[in-house]
Amino acid sequence: MQVKTKGFKDLIVWQKAYQLVKEIYKMTTVFPREELYGLSQQLRRAAIAIPSNIAEGYGRQHDKEYKQFLSVAYASLCELETQYLLSVDLNFASKNQVIEGLMREVGSMLYRLINPIH
């Protein structure tokens, strides 16, 4: 059973994911101009999908639906991590410990929410 809080904004995983979006936006501001509609936009879209799906899932009435949206958020995180690594390898951005830490934290939290220990 899903533990209800006052709202999705009270969820630590949502707060961390939201912070991750802001960090990704900061990182992509220095990307080459020709990447404005390429990798930069893909990174932002994947990042935004994470807290958005957490919030939408929270608003659902059933645990099964909630877990499905958490799974989509986790998949978007995997997509984001791939794009982040590519950005670093292509020298569009430097390694960012804050982003890497947030990706690990959000991934761990989402995994535990999707696969609770009974």
- Going from N- to C-terminal start, the domains of the chain cover 9-114
Tell me what pLDDT residue 1 has.
43
CATH architecture of residue range(s) 9-114? Up-down Bundle (1.20)
Tell me what pLDDT residue 99 has.
98
For the record, the structure tokens of 15 come out as: 């707060």
Predicted TM-score of the model (pTM): 0.92
How long is the chain?
118
Q: What is the mean pLDDT of each run of 10 residues along the chain (118 residues)?
A: 71 97 96 89 98 95 92 98 97 96 98 88
Task: Compute CA distances 84 → 59, 72, 106, 114, 116, whole Å.
Answer: 29, 18, 15, 24, 28
